[in-house]
């Protein structure tokens, strides 16, 4: 374990004015609090906070961040409290430690709904003080470096979380070195065979060609000396995960992959960056489409550099990054450069981004997200995507994620421009709206009065902002249509139980469901966000559920007195169909239709089969069957479908859309039926309607018990 004086010396190397006594005090307090605790590897637990602090000294961070690292697990894992840390070390450090504790408790790789909420909390913590994330990233880095002591299942879970969340977050913050190391450590766990294979290929390549990095570095230095440019040149082979990702993206083997080497040239001035670029391009042929100037168009996290790829020695492609020393500091530390110290004072780097402004730019688009899916869409786009820079006809720069289309460009300017978009010109040429934009292109949006967003635009747009605006507009446009459809669904459902869907009844139901008014209730009914069964159950629970309760012993013949049953979701058998039962431990007997494909899985387990048949008596309409319909997208069609089902004395229990096209809808309607004859009557009535293109029972083999 690193001694306290050695840790202080690491800080003094860049901050001679550090408060050494405060670091000693925090070290002693953390050591005492974690006394008797051990990691899975067997070493004293306090080794971990000390190593996290040491990682943060590499980024030359302030005393508060170093002390937070030493204490970051005390509130969670020891008897220490927020109040005690506040009294001993001040409110600033107590807030930081508390922030890290809350982040540790977030399950970022949980279900999507929970994940979205936890991402919100993550960004809230970031917005309060970004240093919380810096400590958490260093914490994750050390845990990944020592992950071998965990059980394999836990290793895989932590590695996947690192690859999906923490590595992209480090990259988004501009800490590329940390992103690469986190990715490589996770890659070692998730696909060790692929990683080892790439390393073996590298060893073979070096044996065949010699030290290519050293040779190309010398070639670059020679060219710079000829131009009398003073600069440092560094070269390296790219990380195994970076190479593997390129192989996957391009579908190429290692032998065909060319740009596996990267070189960095650090100059004394911005002017020298462009002189270096000229020297490199005069000596080697530039690869088309692989040039980016992040000096004239910096990334939002402050990153500035020139990137170019050239065909170097022996035709091997090499990537070259050119930047000044100050730009390199920001490129290494990213947003963390704001807190960096040198010689005891905060570094005044003109390229370092104000974290408050960076967080504001990162989160401003999240605030309008109306549901979990939209929020995750925003977050993942912001974290994972690179950017392209396009120009307006006036020469203004618009930043968009890679893969963005003219629609994204239009909505980034103004929602009104996006909503009324009818076409686009890129570099003066008319292009389809689904065209992927590239760096440096000039984009002009063509608009027309009366134009409204199309439902197909959702699939064309890639930015969360554009998708949210399109959804909002479609919701407003569809609202009246949904209300009309909702009225029809409500009428059929209420008629089924002998009641009327009056305004008063609907207003009362809306109030019970915490909706503002009956119009909102009907709109949600029509858009399938709410089922008619829920509305009926809200007002008449005894009528809504009475018909669903069937006598289990009378419904199916062939069960023993202690056996219970349920219908298989995959085939949804109804009375009148031949059936067979499959026993499940803890679930009783699951009834399948005799022709259900899922039964093939049990051919070798005859002991689980039970010979059953439906009772010959009259069954209540309580058996839900899913119908797959394709209908014409025209006014009143869906309402007529609902009426036809109601006329057959069947109840619609749920409805949702699988696909919406300008001319046709494909949807699943769940209908409550008595038996197979009732099902045939409903399907026959629907098939006879001229607006129904196709109808079939919806069977899903994935919906198993």
The C-alpha R_g of the chain, in whole angstroms, comes to 32
What predicted TM-score, i.e. pTM, was given to this entire model? Answer: 0.54
Name the catalytic one among 3, 5, 51, 77: 77
Cα gap 47→284, rounded to integer Å: 49
Which residue would you say has higher pLDDT here, 292 or 172?
292
* DSSP helix/strand/coil, 10: helix
> Lowest-confidence range among 182-196, 225-239, 470-484?
470-484
Q: Is pLDDT above 50 for 327?
A: yes
> Lowest-confidence range among 329-343, 474-488, 536-550, 660-674?
536-550
- State pLDDT tens for residues 14-69: 888 899 999 999 999 999 999 999 988 888 999 999 999 999 998 888 899 999 99
Band of residue 547 on the pLDDT scale cut at 50, 70, 90 = very low
Q: Which part of the chain has CATH 3.30.460.10?
A: 198-346
Predicted local distance difference test score (pLDDT) of residue 657: 80
Largest Cα–Cα distance in the chain?
Answer: 99
Predicted local distance difference test score (pLDDT) of residue 549: 46
Band of residue 193 on the pLDDT scale cut at 50, 70, 90 = confident
Cα gap 555→620, rounded to integer Å: 10
Fold of 554-705: Alpha-Beta Plaits (3.30.70)
Closest CA to 270 of 295, 307, 302: 295
**What is the pLDDT averaged over residues 679-689?**
85
Mean pLDDT of the chain: 81
Which residue would you say has higher pLDDT here, 681 or 66?
66
Per the annotation, the verdict on 77 as an active-site residue is: yes
Per the annotation, the verdict on 76 as an active-site residue is: yes
Name the catalytic one among 3, 35, 43, 76: 76
User: 140 — alpha (psi -120 to 50), left (phi > 0) or beta?
Assistant: alpha
Predicted local distance difference test score (pLDDT) of residue 342: 63
Q: Which part of the chain has CATH 3.10.20.30?
A: 385-462
Band of residue 545 on the pLDDT scale cut at 50, 70, 90 = very low
Which residue would you say has higher pLDDT here, 200 or 335?
200
The number of C-alpha atoms within 13 Å of 704 and in the hemisphere containing its C-beta is: 10
> CA 77 from chain center: how many Å?
30
Predicted local distance difference test score (pLDDT) of residue 558: 83
Band of residue 267 on the pLDDT scale cut at 50, 70, 90 = very high
Band of residue 628 on the pLDDT scale cut at 50, 70, 90 = very high
- Alpha helix locations (H) across 191-291? 192-209, 212-226, 240-250, 270-283
Judge whether 463 and 408 are in contact, CB under 8 Å: yes
> Lowest-confidence range among 74-78, 103-107, 244-248, 483-487?
103-107
Band of residue 112 on the pLDDT scale cut at 50, 70, 90 = very low
> Lowest-confidence range among 141-145, 434-438, 545-549, 603-607?
545-549
Q: Which part of the chain has CATH 1.10.3210.10?
A: 4-190
**What is the pLDDT averaged over residues 444-472?**
84
Percent of the chain residues past pLDDT 90, beyond the cut: 24
> CA 355 from chain center: how many Å?
23
Predicted local distance difference test score (pLDDT) of residue 501: 87
Which residue would you say has higher pLDDT here, 620 or 375?
620
Cα gap 69→71, rounded to integer Å: 5
Predicted local distance difference test score (pLDDT) of residue 113: 46
- Alpha helix locations (H) across 335-388? 355-363, 372-384
Judge whether 518 and 539 are in contact, CB under 8 Å: no
User: 514 — alpha (psi -120 to 50), left (phi > 0) or beta?
Assistant: left
Predicted local distance difference test score (pLDDT) of residue 618: 65
Q: Which CATH class is domain 385-462?
A: alpha beta
Strand (E) or helix (H) holding 695: strand 692-697
Judge whether 454 and 407 are in contact, CB under 8 Å: no
Architecture field, domain 198-346: 2-Layer Sandwich (3.30)
Predicted local distance difference test score (pLDDT) of residue 705: 60
Q: With respect to CATH, is domain 4-190 assigned 1.10.3210.10?
A: yes
Judge whether 4 and 70 are in contact, CB under 8 Å: no
What long-range pairs does 420-427 form, CB within 8 A, spacing at least 24? 420/447, 420/448, 420/449, 420/450, 420/451, 421/445, 421/446, 421/447, 421/451, 422/446, 422/447, 422/448, 422/451
Judge whether 466 and 408 are in contact, CB under 8 Å: yes
């Amino acid at each position: 374990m690193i001694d306290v004086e050695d840790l202080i010396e690491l800080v003094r190397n860049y901050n001679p004015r550090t408060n050494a006594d405060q670091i000693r005090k925090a070290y002693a307090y953390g050591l005492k609090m974690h006394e008797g605790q051990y990691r899975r590897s067997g070493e004293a637990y306090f080794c971990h906070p000390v190593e996290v602090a040491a990682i943060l000294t590499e980024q030359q961070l302030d005393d508060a961040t170093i002390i937070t690292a030493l204490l970051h697990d005390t509130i969670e894992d020891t008897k220490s409290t927020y109040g005690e840390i506040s009294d001993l070390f001040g409110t600033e450090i107590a807030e930081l430690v508390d922030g890290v504790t809350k982040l540790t408790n977030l399950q970022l790789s949980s279900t999507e709904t929970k994940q979205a909420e936890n991402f919100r909390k993550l960004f809230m913590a970031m917005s309060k003080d970004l240093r919380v994330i810096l400590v958490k990233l260093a914490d994750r880095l050390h845990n990944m470096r020592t992950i071998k002591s965990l059980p394999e299942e836990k290793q895989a879970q932590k590695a996947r979380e690192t690859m999906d969340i923490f590595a992209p977050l480090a990259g988004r913050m501009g800490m590329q070195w940390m992103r690469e190391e986190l990715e490589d450590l996770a890659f070692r766990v998730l696909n060790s065979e692929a990683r080892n294979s790439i390393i073996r290929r590298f060893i073979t390549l070096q044996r065949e060609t010699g030290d290519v990095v050293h040779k190309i570095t010398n070639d670059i230095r020679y060219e710079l000396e000829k131009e009398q440019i003073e600069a440092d040149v560094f070269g390296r082979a790219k990380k195994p995960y970076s190479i593997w990702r390129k192989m996957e993206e391009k579908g190429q083997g290692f032998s065909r992959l060319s740009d596996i080497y990267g070189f960095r040239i650090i100059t004394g001035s911005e002017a020298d960056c462009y002189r270096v670029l000229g020297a490199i391009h005069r000596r080697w042929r530039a690869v088309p489409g692989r040039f980016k100037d992040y000096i004239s168009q910096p990334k939002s996290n402050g990153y500035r550099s020139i990137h170019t790829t050239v065909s170097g020695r022996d035709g091997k492609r090499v990537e070259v990054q050119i930047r000044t020393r100050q730009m390199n500091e920001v490129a290494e530390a990213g947003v963390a450069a704001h807190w960096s110290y040198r010689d005891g004072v905060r570094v005044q780097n003109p390229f370092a981004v104000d974290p408050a402004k960076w967080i504001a730019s990162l989160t401003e688009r999240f605030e309008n997200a109306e549901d979990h899916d939209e929020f995750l869409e925003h977050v993942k786009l912001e974290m994972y995507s690179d950017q392209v820079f396009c120009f307006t006809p006036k020469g203004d720069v618009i930043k968009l994620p890679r893969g963005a289309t003219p629609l994204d460009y239009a909505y980034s300017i103004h929602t009104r421009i996006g909503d009324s978009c009818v076409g686009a010109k890129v570099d003066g040429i008319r292009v389809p709206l689904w065209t992927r934009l590239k760096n440096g292109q000039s984009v002009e949006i063509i608009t027309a009065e009366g134009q409204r967003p199309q439902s197909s635009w959702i699939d064309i747009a890639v930015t969360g902002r554009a998708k949210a605006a399109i959804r909002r507009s479609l919701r407003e446009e569809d609202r009246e249509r949904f209300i009309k459809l909702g009225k029809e669904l409500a009428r059929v459902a209420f008629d089924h139980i002998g009641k009327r869907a009056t305004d008063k009844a609907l207003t009362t139901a809306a109030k019970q469901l915490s909706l503002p008014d009956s119009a909102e209730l009907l709109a949600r009914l029509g858009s399938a966000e709410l089922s008619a069964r829920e509305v009926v159950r809200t007002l008449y629970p005894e009528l809504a559920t009475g018909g669903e309760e069937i006598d289990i012993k009378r419904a199916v013949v062939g069960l023993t007195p202690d056996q219970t049953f349920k219908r298989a979701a995959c085939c949804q058998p109804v009375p009148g169909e031949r059936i067979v039962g499959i026993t499940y431990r803890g679930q009783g007997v699951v009834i399948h239709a005799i022709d259900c494909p899922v039964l093939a899985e049990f051919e070798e387990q005859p002991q689980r089969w039970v010979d059953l048949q439906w009772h010959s008596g009259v069954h209540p309409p309580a058996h839900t069957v899913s119908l797959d319909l394709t209908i014409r997208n025209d006014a009143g069609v869906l309402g007529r479908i609902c009426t036809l089902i109601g006329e057959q004395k069947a109840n619609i229990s749920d409805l949702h859309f699988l696909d919406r096209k300008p001319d046709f809808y494909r949807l699943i309607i769940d209908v409550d039926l008595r038996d197979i004859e009732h099902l045939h009557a409903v399907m026959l009535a629907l098939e006879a309607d001229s607006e129904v293109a196709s109808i079939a029972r919806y069977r899903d083999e994935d919906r198993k018990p």
